[in-house]
């Protein structure tokens, strides 16, 4: 996933002859890494320049990626990879800084909250210090600032604010003309991420209206309501961007719909992976792993990656949420359902991502 294969064809051919690998430059990584971890070729290295404590459980990591990194647009995400207890883990985070910072100073930021029980986020908080180097993928995602400028409503929850921060800053720098409203939901007022920055942005950028709502400060929880939407002038003309925990996203979706906001004007970014509702379909089946000559049955919504692992196989994987394609494999026959989109595959031969493919009936995979 984080690999780069942009060497010329001839070099690639030669590398294959000499080092038996598709990415010949990475042959030298074990040595280069010792001299300077920023010279590693297999992935784009990024060094931690600064760590800022945002709230009690949220930190912003300021990173300096190697110069060959391709840059990003406000609102996009990146995969990062770190080694936790000897195992490489890949995770996706939103970039919280604006692209201007990258262009001017070659810096980007990730704002990361400790998730209870989260293996990677906790590790990042406990081990990632100034000077550490992690692997960075290229940016992706289409949760980006509308162009030309249109009125915008952001609804963010908790650390779902991160891509919004990047967008707001970019909008302020561009002097974005259309009105922008942010409804930002946090548990308690202690949990506001980047409060100062948000306030500074509001002061600097007159088109921006900021409302921070603490859901659990009072005795009764105070969630997003229709009245909140009522405070947004010209709601139906706005592009709406949602980013936050699933409960908030679902609620927002319903309320917006009942106010007649059109589906195509609502943009979501995954935060927790949105999952299509596939429960009402028959799932599971006999799965054959051709290369290992293994056949196992599965029930319910177990995905092919889990099924393979339960059978003792170790297919390659990355994010385990359908993003990185590390787990892509050849399906030779059978139908699978994509658990992100709920779409059914054809019965024939095609590439599938194991981590989001749920078998429906007998399936044969080249693993």
- Contacting positions for ligand FES (CB under 6 A): 317-320, 322-327, 353-355
What minimum distance in Å lies between the beta carbon of 333 and other proteins?
A: 21
3-state SS class at 157? strand
What minimum distance in Å lies between the beta carbon of 90 and ligand FES?
A: 7
Give the whole-angstrom CA distance, residue 24 versus residue 7: 9
Choose from other proteins, ligand FES, none: what does 327 bind? Cβ within 5-8 Å by kind.
ligand FES
At 364, which helix (H) or strand (E)? strand 357-365
Q: What are the two backbone dihedrals, phi and then psi, of residue 310, each rounded to the nearest 5 degrees?
A: -65, -25
Q: Considering only residues 271 through 300, tell me which ones interact with other proteins, judged by CB under 8 A.
A: 293
Determine which residue in the list 4, 7, 29, 202 makes contact with other proteins, applying CB under 8 A: 29
Give the whole-angstrom CA distance, residue 361 versus residue 358: 10
139: tokens are 């940016």
| Three-state secondary structure readout of 104-151 | HHCCEEEEEECCCCCHHHHHHHHHCCCCCEEEECCCECCCCCCCCCCC
314 binds other proteins (CB under 8 A): yes
Q: Which is nearer to other proteins, 301 or 306 (CB)?
A: 306
What minimum distance in Å lies between the beta carbon of 92 and ligand FES?
A: 9
Choose from other proteins, ligand FES, none: what does 330 bind? Cβ within 5-8 Å by kind.
none
Contact 1, 137 (CB under 8 A): yes
Query: Which residues, including other chains, have CB under 8 Å from residue 112's CB and lie 6 or more apart?
Result: 58, 59, 60, 61, 93, 121, 124, 125, 159
Of 298, 180, 200, give the one whose Cα is nearest residue 241.
180
Choose from ligand FES, other proteins, none: what does 39 bind? Cβ within 5-8 Å by kind.
none
Choose from ligand FES, other proteins, none: what does 187 bind? Cβ within 5-8 Å by kind.
none
What minimum distance in Å lies between the beta carbon of 305 and ligand FES?
A: 7
Give the whole-angstrom CA distance, residue 293 versus residue 131: 46
Determine which residue in the list 5, 9, 34, 264 makes contact with other proteins, applying CB under 8 A: 34
Site string for other proteins, 69-108 (x = CB under 8 A): --------------x-xxxxx-------------------
What minimum distance in Å lies between the beta carbon of 176 and other proteins?
A: 41
Query: Which residues, including other chains, have CB under 8 Å from residue 247's CB and lie 6 or more apart?
Result: none
Q: Give the residues lining the site for other proteins (CB under 8 A).
A: 3, 16-18, 20-21, 26-31, 34, 42, 83, 85-89, 293, 314-318, 326
């Amino acid at each position: 996933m984080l690999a780069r294969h942009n060497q010329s064809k001839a070099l690639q051919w030669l590398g294959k002859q000499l080092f038996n690998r598709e990415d010949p430059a990475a042959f030298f990584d074990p040595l280069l890494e010792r001299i300077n971890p920023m010279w590693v070729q297999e992935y784009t290295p990024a060094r931690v320049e600064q760590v800022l404590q945002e709230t009690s459980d949220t930190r912003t990591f300021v990173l300096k990626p190697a110069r060959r990194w391709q840059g990003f647009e406000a609102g996009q995400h990146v995969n990062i990879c770190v080694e936790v207890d000897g195992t490489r883990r890949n995770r996706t985070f939103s970039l919280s800084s604006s692209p201007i910072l990258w262009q001017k100073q070659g810096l980007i930021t990730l704002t990361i909250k400790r998730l209870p029980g989260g293996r990677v986020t906790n590790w990042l908080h406990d081990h990632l210090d100034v000077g550490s180097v992690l692997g960075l993928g290229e940016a992706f995602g289409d949760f980006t600032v509308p162009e030309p400028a249109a009125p915008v409503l952001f609804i963010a929850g908790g650390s779902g604010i991160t891509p919004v921060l990047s967008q707001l800053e970019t909008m302020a720098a561009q002097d974005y003309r259309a009105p922008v409203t942010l409804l930002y939901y946090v548990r308690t007022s202690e949990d506001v991420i980047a409060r100062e920055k948000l306030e500074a942005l509001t002061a600097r950028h007159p088109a921006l209206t900021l409302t921070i709502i603490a859901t659990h400060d009072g005795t009764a929880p105070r969630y997003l309501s229709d009245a909140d939407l009522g405070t947004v002038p010209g709601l139906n003309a706005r592009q709406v961007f949602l980013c936050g925990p699933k409960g908030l996203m679902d609620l927002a979706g319903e309320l917006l719909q009942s106010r007649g906001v059109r589906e195509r004007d609502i943009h979501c970014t995954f935060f927790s992976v949105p999952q299509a509702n596939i429960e009402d379909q028959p799932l599971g089946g006999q799965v054959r792993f051709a290369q290992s000559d293994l056949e196992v049955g599965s029930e319910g919504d177990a995905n092919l990656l889990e099924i393979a692992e339960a059978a003792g196989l170790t297919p390659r994987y990355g994010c385990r949420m359908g993003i990185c394609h590390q787990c892509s494999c050849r399906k030779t026959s059978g139908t699978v359902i994509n658990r992100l989109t709920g779409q059914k595959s054809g019965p024939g031969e095609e590439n599938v991502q194991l981590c989001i493919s749920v078998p429906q009936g007998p399936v044969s995979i080249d693993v």
